[in-house]
Amino acid sequence: MDWELSKFRAGDLVEVLTESEILQTLDEHGCFDGMPFMPEMLQFCGQQLRVSAVAHKTCDTARQTWTGRRLNRTVHLTEARCSGSAHGGCEAECLIFWKDAWLKAVDPMIQLPPSQRTMTRTGSISNADLARLTRMTQPDVSDEERFSCQATRMWDATSELHPLDIRQYVYDVITHNHSIGRVLRVTWIAMLRFHVSRGTLSRVPFVQPLIRSLLEVTHRLLTGRKPPYLNPAIKPGEKTPIDDGSIGLSEGDYVRIKSQSEIEKTLDYRGMNRGLSFDREEMAPHCGKIVRVKKVVKKIIDEPSGKMITMKYPCIMLDGVVCNSEYASCRINCPRQIYAYWREFWLEPVDSSIARTHLAKRH
């Protein structure tokens, strides 16, 4: 299967087609090239937005293999996130995938080839059909409502991407998603971390300790931080503490993310607290930062099943604190920017005036 890049590049200004134009590109399943067009996307029709990244690859969360998957002719638009309004009020705010066929270039020098403008309509798709297709039709013995969206159908809309497929790293630069310096940095660190975690050279005397030392030095030199190792404090068989929400954080509050050592005291041997994981690779680098609460998350769609999950203990979403895919060796430079979920007691309130002064100095 050929890998076809989007004709757009990160930073390009594009215009989302009209509702009627987009509906004509969809098959009877409401998809183009396997990717669903969701009702939440209609609000962007006719708007001009910047391409934030070319989505030539993404990470699998639907089947939870957490590996890379590749896409053809797809982009993300700046802060064009799903509101969840047509999917039971899901609060995940996923970054939406946009096919080239749903966009047109504002710059007249960018022209899409005819094959990408071809209408693929095989049935009669309407706005009402889009709403209907947000629910799964397969029988469910529990008779529980199940949702269908870009995230739940990601596996079928993508194809396998091997982490050693060198093309993806070249495309990271060609698409303007990342600088060549960033790509070289994260791939070098990922390679060292892979050998350390798998012990691939452990049979060679002195090599494994040497690689671990090289990773430590290289990571500090290139990032200014130590490698994101995790040392959970809760032993197997012991329960992790419950976050009862007593701090009472709400949207707009400023908080300081606690140190990694403080958070580790609340984690079990799997790096989890009451079912919520602390991502050592993408969350640990944010420890110590002062940030703003974006929202309190109470329900999200479970991507493997499509069922709505109501959280026993609400989680906190923080402004700008998303997965940057810098350290996960099998999915580095994924442009999906998924928000991290935080326990309230992993955060501590900060006076707004102090926070604004701190943020002003940082910028």
Mean pLDDT in residue range 131-149:
82
pLDDT of residue 130: 95
345: left (phi over 0), alpha (psi -120 to 50) or beta: alpha
C-beta of residue 257 within 8 angstroms of C-beta of residue 251: no
pLDDT value at position 138? Answer: 65
Evaluated on CA atoms 356, 359, 361, 363, the torsion sign reads negative
Q: Which of 347, 304, 341, 350 is nearest to 321 (CA)?
A: 341
Check if the beta carbon of residue 244 is closer than 8 Å to that of residue 274.
no
Reduce the DSSP state of residue 98 to 3 states and report it.
Answer: strand
- For residue 313, the model assigns a pLDDT of 87
Whole-number average pLDDT of the chain:
89
- For the chain, the residue count is 363
Query: According to the per-residue pLDDT averaged within each range, which of 49-58, 133-142, 189-198 is highest?
Result: 49-58
DSSP H/E element including 50: strand 48-54
At 229 the pLDDT is: 82
Q: Would you say residue 315 has pLDDT above 90? A: yes
pLDDT tens column, 16-41? 999 999 999 999 999 999 999 999 99
d(CA 77, CA 43): 13
**What's the pLDDT at 78?**
96
Section 116-130 average pLDDT: 68
Cβ atoms 90, 82 nearer than 8 A:
yes
Rounded-to-integer distance, Cα 27 and Cα 29, Å: 5
Per-residue pLDDT band at 141 (split at 50, 70, 90) = low
Q: If you average pLDDT over residues 115-120, what whole number do you get?
A: 50
CA distances from 46 to 17, 112, 127 (A): 6, 18, 16
Question: What's the rounded mean pLDDT across residues 42-48?
Answer: 97
pLDDT digits (tens, 9 = 90+) for 183-241: 999 998 888 887 776 655 555 566 777 878 888 888 889 888 888 788 999 999 999 99
Phi first, then psi, for residue 192 (nearest 5°) are -65, -45
Band (72; pLDDT cuts 50, 70, 90): very high
DSSP SS3 for 299: strand
User: Mean pLDDT, to the nearest integer, of 153-157?
Assistant: 95
Strand pairing report for 308-318 and 98-99: unpaired
Q: Which residues, at least 6 apart from 229, have a Cβ–Cβ distance to it below 8 Å?
A: 280
User: Residue 139 above 90 pLDDT?
Assistant: no
37 or 110, higher pLDDT: 37
Using an 8 Å Cβ cutoff, are 50 and 79 in contact?
A: no
Average pLDDT of 92-121? 77
pLDDT value, residue 356: 85
Determine the pLDDT at residue 108: 66
Q: Which two tokens stand for residue 29?
A: 């399943």
pLDDT value, residue 120? 52
- pTM of the predicted model over 0.85: yes
